[in-house]
Amino acid sequence: MSVQEITAKTIADFVIKKKKLFILDVRNESDFNDWKIEGKSIQILNKPYFDMLEGVDEIIDEIPRDIPILVVCAKEGSSKFVAEMLKESGIKDVMYLKGGMKAWSDHLEPIKVGDLSNGGSVYQFVRIGKGCLSYMIASEGEAIVIDAGRTIEPFITFAKEKGVTIKHAIDTHLHADHISGGRKLREETGAAYWLPPKDAEEVVFEFNGLTETSNLKLNGTQIDIIYSPGHTIGSTSILVDNEYLLTGDILFVQSIGRPDLAGRAGDWASHLRETLYSRYKEMSENLMVLPAHFSHITELGTDGSVSEKLGVLFTQNDGLQIEDESDFHKRVSENLPPQPNSFQEIRKTNMGKINPNEDEQQEMEIGPNRCAIN
């Protein structure tokens, strides 16, 4: 019996617009507990595929009849099989996720988040299933891409649609939760690739060192580089047009960056505090903070983007309310969430030390980003 397939882009629309949806996730319990599709109006049930090989009678009474039903698995095949059984059992509005949770992990949603003083624009690419955020700054026919994920086609396609040439690709730090697309953008577009040199001591490929003296030019738009260590020793922020502060993994909307992913939490906690409580504190409260990640679906705005004024974060972000320095050190180095899946292999890939194939890279990235302290 034929069942409708649905794309990750359509599911992103359900999440962003808070449409009602019931999800039957047929992955095993541990994978489900590690990472799942979430949304304010989404109901979800986990029932492993292998428990339903003989049929869906056991769960049929738990399936609502008044909202759409989506069946998901890791890759697609199991969810399609279960969706067909549900339809044969009388469930009419049932679908399965094309490409499974791997497709959900990779999907990028481009959203305009601001205008530049010269008529250009700032775009945020929301990787909603992974919690990753990338950016394109477009100005007078040229563009900079910041913290690109490994799937670069959306950036190249979007640049063509907007009539801009990608001139620079920047990583604000050496990423540990996802594989950077910066080098691939250089290979495909001829863009200059920039990486903070303090994060690149073990990198085995050529790059442009991103420092406060770097002269990055984008037609008519001011780009300032701000050294802001703490998440990594090389972490760097980008100030665009004196209005948008791209904070990388240092500062998020509801949390702050963790300093432990290179095994240096004790050493880097002081840098993190200095960046957050001194350097950022000296900056304008009206700056719009654009982070490189989000941890919770509640951080999404009504349009699906993630941002907040710096002044608001200094009053509402718990990570910016820890007055005692010793308490701060303890908070950012103890009882942290689990580290990102395969983070050591991802770091080595981003250094150029290993070269996994596309399927291996996709598998390495499965799961949440876990770059915040909570």
Question: pLDDT (tens digit, 9 = 90+) per residue, 287-306?
Answer: 999 999 999 999 999 999 99
- Total-model pTM: 0.95
Q: Where in the chain is the domain with CATH 3.60.15.10?
A: 108-365
- What is the chain's mean pLDDT, rounded? 95
Question: Which pLDDT band, with edges at 50, 70 and 90, does 1 fall under?
Answer: low
pLDDT of residue 215: 84
Q: Are 202 and 176 a contacting pair, CB within 8 Å?
A: no
pLDDT digits (tens, 9 = 90+) for 60-117: 999 999 999 999 999 999 999 999 999 999 999 999 999 999 999 999 999 999 999 9
Instruction: Pinpoint the residues of the chain covered by CATH 3.40.250.10.
Output: 4-103
Classify domain 108-365 by CATH architecture: 4-Layer Sandwich (3.60)
Query: Which residues are CB-neighbours of 54 under 8 A, at least 6 positions away?
Result: none
What is the topology classification, in CATH, of domain 4-103?
Answer: Oxidized Rhodanese; domain 1 (3.40.250)
Tens digit of each residue's pLDDT (9 = 90 or more) over 328-360: 999 998 888 888 889 999 999 999 999 999 999
Q: Which two tokens stand for residue 347?
A: 């770091």
pLDDT of residue 117: 94
Can you tell me whether residue 128 is helix, strand or coil?
coil
Estimate the crossing angle of helix 325-333 against helix 265-274, to 10 degrees. 130
Q: Which of 125, 86, 87 lies closest to 107 in space, CA to CA?
A: 125
**Model confidence over 249-291: pLDDT tens digits?**
999 999 999 998 777 777 789 999 999 999 999 999 999 999 9
> What are all long-range contacts of 28-33, with beta carbons under 8 Å and residues at least 24 apart?
31/74
Give the pair of three-digit tokens for residue 239. Answer: 């100030």
- Which residue among 73, 122, 132, 138 is the active-site one? 73
> Of all residues in the chain, what percent are helix, strand and coil, respectively (each to 5)?
30, 25, 45
Is 73 an annotated catalytic residue?
yes
